[in-house]
Amino acid sequence: MNRQAQAVVLFLFGGAILKASLSDLYLRYVKEGLRPFLIAAGAALVLAAIMTLWYEYRAAPSAGASSADEHDHGHAHHEPRVGWLLILPVLGLLLVAPPALGSFTAGQSGTVQVSGSSDYPPLPAADPAPIGLLDYASRAIYDEGRSLAGRRLQLIGFVNTSPEGVQLARIVVSCCAADGRPIKVGLTGGPVIDVPSGTWVQVTGKYTAQRGKDTVNQADIAYLEVEQWQPATPPKQQYE
């Protein structure tokens, strides 16, 4: 792999990172907090590509060119051929741009084991009160729904059809999508949810004491008594 080819690959790689982090594309893969670092890293890669080309072309017409080439040749076996592989993430980001993790992961992995908290702050005053799936599961399982009692709740997630019935799910990401695991909430009662797995829906309902077990990892699953549901557009940040 010669230096010009390396510069082109670096430029494409940095450009792809820049494009992903300047749009909302990066949110499918990593947490929001990484954005400034991604932009800086992408810019640095593009700069490295430009500087490589600059030194290549500046050296080319002078007498130093031949010595530089021989220099190159002298340790050609050290030139990183493996660098060609950097084309793959460029294609992945620019051409394919794979979607955020969804129902495949939810079907393959067991639900997140929610942790309890000593203090559950009151829900927002709005009716129905919006609440995240992790928060709901934690309040339902560890607080026996005390802080949820008597309230109408609104949850958003995608449909996951499992052996235990229809569930609402979201992917929880602590660092990047590679560590993504689903949080699942069982749905009971209400109108039949007849959309395919992976469809984003908004569900309004109430706490129920019903519990289930995830067949994959035997973790507890909280349930929600559905009043109504409707298809929803996926939020900008699909992970929880």
- The CB-of-67 to another protein minimum distance in angstroms stands at 9
- The CB-of-72 to another protein minimum distance in angstroms stands at 7
Between residues 2 and 228, which has the closer beta carbon with respect to another protein?
A: 2
Between residues 89 and 165, which has the closer beta carbon with respect to another protein?
A: 89
- The CB-of-166 to another protein minimum distance in angstroms stands at 19
Check residue 97 and give left, alpha or beta (phi > 0: left; psi -120 to 50: alpha): left
Between residues 22 and 88, which has the closer beta carbon with respect to another protein?
A: 88
**111 - beta bridge partners?**
none
- The CB-of-119 to another protein minimum distance in angstroms stands at 18
Between residues 55 and 211, which has the closer beta carbon with respect to another protein?
A: 55
And the tokens for 184? 């699942």
Q: Using CA atoms, how far apart are residues 99 and 25, in angstroms rounded to an integer?
A: 9
Q: Are 200 and 157 in contact (CB under 8 A)?
A: yes
- The CB-of-90 to another protein minimum distance in angstroms stands at 9
Between residues 8 and 195, which has the closer beta carbon with respect to another protein?
A: 8
- The CB-of-163 to another protein minimum distance in angstroms stands at 14
Nearest to 86 by CA among 175, 177, 15: 15
Number of Cβ within a 10 Å radius of residue 66: 10
Q: Are 9 and 83 in contact (CB under 8 A)?
A: yes
Between residues 108 and 228, which has the closer beta carbon with respect to another protein?
A: 108
